[in-house]
Amino acid sequence: MFESILIDIAKKLLRDKTVDLIIGYGSTHYPFRTEPIVIKQEDQADALVWNPFCGNNLARYLKYYKNTQHKIALMVKGCDSRAVQVLLKEDQIKRDRLYLIGLSCPGLVNHEKLQKQFPQASPDDFQWKETGWFFHGEQIDPGLLLEETCLRCRYPNPLEYDQLIGEPQTTSPYQTYQKDYLDPIDDLSPEERWDRWSKEMTKCIRCYACRNSCPLCYCQECFAESTQPQWVSPAATPSDNFLFHLVRTMHMAGRCVECGACERACPVSIPIAQLPLKVEAIIREQFQFEAGTDQESAAPLLTYRENDPGDFIK
């Protein structure tokens, strides 16, 4: 139902030449997977889809058009719209070049959870309605299926859009589940946290899928690839991996929009989103700031205020 609305909107945008291209989600040959697609002609718009497997953060592709003249339409969920806001604030693209097709999102489905709960399911078994999940007509607990980052989502509705598809969500998953993503970690002692993360860092192969799927990692040359000087060794040892991830998290501090694309991209299933999300939780508490939620407040790590929290100075 949403898809036909979406396709009509897309066709009209291209027909009226409001935009030169549309970046959206398309389907693949594999039942529960979508892919990012770019559409330049009206007849290609039939390929667009919108379903709970649209996991990529499409704002990541805006960096290709930074210096071109194209007008771009972009499909944005709540978290994606926050990413666009941050990019606008950081001067990476101008608002008048964008047409944001907002999507009211009740959360994305995690493939591993899906396999576990419903190993034989096919897409036709599911109905996705705005109020929740239905499997063969019966409502199921989204907590069983949603991505971990989605269970803690505070902004299910796009904050900036030109047109919205679907009714706005009336409640956020965070309000429903009251879970903080980091509860399992916050309960651990520092030594236990170190052990836990050391194990995860042993798995990391430094493929940079997390960094490359993030819309806010748009540096021309990443510090991890610099050789003059070399900040971190290319070897995928646990200590070098730690260094890469911790420095990247610090670079994202106050800018991460908590979309979870990094975690979904990781080929070795490291819950890597927990790192920037923890930093964002701290920033929320200390600076009362959330990235991408408004165009006015200044990013905390780029500004100085006299009353900045300083209780770590002893």
Is residue 212 at the binding interface for other proteins, with CB under 8 A as the rule?
A: yes
Q: Least distance to other proteins from the beta carbon of 220, Å? A: 9
Least spacing, CB of residue 219 vs other proteins, in Å? 11
Q: Contact with other proteins (CB under 8 A): which of 60, 77, 89, 255? A: 60
- Here's the x/- map for other proteins, 130-159, by CB under 8 A: it reads as ------------------------------
The DSSP secondary structure of the chain, one letter per residue, reads -HHHHHHHHHHHHHHTTS-SEEEEEEE-SSTT-EEEEEE-SGGGGGGB--STT--S-GGGGGGGGTTS---EEEEE-HHHHHHHHHHHHTTSS-GGGEEEEEE----PBPHHHHHHH-TT--GGGEEEETTEEEETTEEE-GGGTB-HHHHT-S--S-SS-SEEESPPPSS-HHHHH---TTHHHHTS-HHHHHHHHHHHHHH-----HHHHH-TT---SS-GGG--TT--S-SS--HHHHHHHHHHHHHHHTTT-----HHHHH-TT---TTHHHHHHHHHHHHHH---TTS-SSSPPGGG---TT---TT--
Stretch that binds other proteins, among 27-35, 88-96, 274-282, 283-291 (CB under 8 A): 27-35
The residue within the footprint of other proteins, chosen from 7, 22, 37, 277 (CB under 8 A), is 37
Task: Name the minimum Å distance from CB 228 to other proteins.
Answer: 6
Residue 199 makes contact with other proteins by CB under 8 A: no
Nearer to other proteins by Cβ, of 235 and 313: the residue is 235
Given 41, 195, 205, 308, the residue binding other proteins (CB under 8 A): 205
Q: How many residues of this chain bind other proteins (CB under 8 A)?
A: 35
Using CB under 8 A as the binding rule, whether residue 307 contacts other proteins is answered as no
Among 141, 195, 225, 308, binds other proteins (CB under 8 A): 225
Residues that bind other proteins (CB under 8 A): 28-30, 33-38, 56, 60-61, 203, 205-209, 211-213, 225, 227-228, 230, 233-237, 261, 264-265, 267-268
